[in-house]
Amino acid sequence: MPLQFWLDNAAIQAISFNYGYQIMSDRLTGIEVFVRALRLGSLSAAARGMGMSAAMAARHLGALEARLGITLVNRSTRRLALTEAGAAYLDRAERILADLGEAEAEVAARTVAVEGLLRVSAPAAFGTRHLAGLVASFARAHPKVIIELGLNDRFVDLLEEGWDMAIRIGRLPDSALRARRLVPVRASLCASPAYLAAHGTPRTIADLAAHQTLGYTLSLHTGVSHWSFGSDGEVKVPVNAVLRVNSGAMLVEAAVAGLGLVYAPRFLTAAARAAGQLVAIDLDQPVMDLGAIHAVTHPSRHPAAKTRAWIDHLARALPALAADW
């Protein structure tokens, strides 16, 4: 399809949409002028209440009558008098405006009240290990909110799939999404005491070639063919993973069982390290800075009160949880 044709077609569609929107807006304005003028007794009073000139109010009323093909009001210098058709239309017009006002009030109330269904997407391992307590404390504070958690390691489309927000971990790529940084994320290289007793403790990145490694298939930096070290991941070390999994939690459990070395975020290994099931290993290169945990929302949606309250809750609660992350 020629580019010029596509551009012309897109422009026509945009003009058609804007034209249709303007017609609907003018129609509602005409109805409001009509109702206000009858209730207040004059077009000039209706115009003042709506912030327009009396001439503009008269044009809106005239356009409404022209569209309907009837006279709604007989005008005189002293007063407005409803026609028979106008009296019948007035009742319907008032109901239309009342319904519209109620709908707007309901939507406005929902943006203020912390209530309703809150749909949250989060990485599976992080959600399984850390979100239950956060959800429970949030629910106690906001009992009118129902939370739906989607635990998945893929990046969901917030708008297309209807998620209110997502928790994303790492260094976020440039995008139009709104992101609030919650807590930093550090990596850890660990193994079980039994594994280290059997295979020795690596001291340098070169030593990794002689060890069994566990690879996370969804990561470019802690994956199945190489691991990245240095604060920016600039040092690449070849590895040959003996277990390759798309679940960080599974990798940690395999490491606890003595299968090999695991290179994972500290929030995944914290509990096992605290229990003595895993031992942290320091090499001659620093582990990679993994970025942060972020709360992400879509820029085309103004976050509702429930979403803002949840993100604020995460921002308050996560730093204490993340003390050893």
Q: What is the pTM of this model?
A: 0.65
Alpha helices in the chain (DSSP H): 3-40, 43-50, 54-68, 84-112, 124-126, 132-141, 158-161, 193-199, 248-256, 266-274, 305-321
| CA–CA gap between residue 244 and residue 150 (Å, rounded) | 23
pLDDT of residue 15: 41
187 and 287 Cβ atoms separated by less than 8 Å: yes
CATH of domain 116-183+291-324: 3.40.190.10
| CA–CA gap between residue 190 and residue 181 (Å, rounded) | 26
| CA–CA gap between residue 134 and residue 266 (Å, rounded) | 18
Ramachandran area for residue 33 (φ above 0: left; ψ -120 to 50: alpha; else beta): alpha
pLDDT of residue 10: 43
Highest CATH level, class, for 3-112 = mainly alpha
Name the DSSP letter for residue 312.
Answer: H
DSSP string for residues in 239-307: --EEEEES-HHHHHHHHHTTS-EEEEEHHHHHHHHHTTSSEE---SSPBPEEEEEEEEE-TTSPPPHHH
Q: What is the phi/psi pair of residue 150, to 5°? A: -115, 110
Q: Where in the chain is the domain with CATH 3.40.190.10?
A: 116-183+291-324, 185-289
Tokens matching residue 239:
């590895």
Instruction: For residue 168, give the amino acid letter.
Output: R
pLDDT of residue 109: 55
Q: Where in the chain is the domain with CATH 1.10.10.10?
A: 3-112
| CA–CA gap between residue 60 and residue 33 (Å, rounded) | 7
- Find the length of the chain: 325
pLDDT of residue 111: 62
Instruction: For residue 302, give the amino acid letter.
Output: H
Query: Domain 185-289 classified CATH 3.40.50.700?
Result: no
Per-residue pLDDT tens, the chain, 325 aa: give them.
Answer: 444 443 355 443 444 444 444 556 678 888 999 888 887 888 888 888 888 898 998 899 999 999 999 999 888 767 788 899 988 888 888 888 877 876 776 666 566 789 999 999 999 999 999 999 999 999 999 999 999 999 998 888 888 899 999 999 998 876 678 899 999 999 999 999 999 999 999 999 999 999 999 999 999 899 999 999 999 999 999 998 999 999 999 999 999 999 999 999 999 999 999 999 999 999 999 999 999 999 999 887 778 899 999 999 999 999 998 988 8
